[in-house]
Structure 1
Amino acid sequence: MESTRPDDDLIGKLAGKGEQAVQRLADLPGGTRALKAFNDLKLRVDDLSRKVRGIDALEARVAKLEKDVAGLKRAQKPASQQKAPARKAGA
């Protein structure tokens, strides 16, 4: 029985080709600067995705607070409508 699956061999080949491509790119004039820019872009995208995941939690908290405020407004409304009717002067 073969110790490596064909998928593992394909992934290994792709990884090797990727390393060769990065090395070729680094050897080009301005290549290291381009690689640095790509790495910086990756870090920025990672940071933005982390922040976006945080926005989902904030949206859930805001929705809960809006629901609570709406419930409080409904609870206050009947109390303000139960004022005594105004008396007419002279009657």
Structure 2
Amino acid sequence: MADRNKDLLGRLADLSEEAVQRLADAPGADRALQALKGLADKVDELQRRTRGFEELERRLSTLEKRVDALAKPSRGAASGARARAAKSGSAPKKA
């Protein structure tokens, strides 16, 4: 049984080597390989840029949290100041 599997794998390996050789000998194969190489380079560049975006998103999230933390106390103070201004302005002035 093990010999049979080895024979099958050996035959598959031989067939794949022949297929690769035929592709290499085919006209236009050089251009196709160059196009694939260019595609690989572009994918690498996109991955590098994506990592840069992830870093920017992390920094943006941190800054948004800081802004939210700073904005919470000022909202309460602003609404309190408006309430005080409304109370003093709502009393009719005596002339």
TM-score range, shorter chain: 0.5 to 0.7
Structure with bigger helix share is: 2
48-57 or 77-86, larger mean C-alpha shift: 77-86
Aligned residue in 1 for 2:57: 59
Unaligned stretches of 5+ residues in structure 1 = 1-13
Total equivalences in the alignment: 74
Summarize the alignment of residues 64-83 of structure 1 with structure 2, pairs less than 5 Å apart. Answer: 64-83=62-81
- Bigger Rg over Cα: 2
Higher relative contact order (CA 8 A, sep 6+): 1
Structure 2 residue aligned with 1:39: 37
Question: Do the aligned residues in 2 keep the contact of 1:26 with 1:35 (CA within 8 Å)?
Answer: no
Structure 2 residue matching 1:82: 3-state secondary structure: helix
Task: Give 1:64 shift.
Answer: 0.3
* Shift of residue 78, structure 1, vs aligned partner: 1.7
> TM-score when scaled to structure 2?
0.65
- RMSD, matched Cα: 2.2
Shift of the alpha carbon at 1:24?
4.1
> Which of 85, 89, 92 is residue 89 of structure 1 equivalent to?
92
Amino acid at match of 1:35: L
Q: Where do 5+ consecutive residues of structure 2 fail to align? A: 1-12
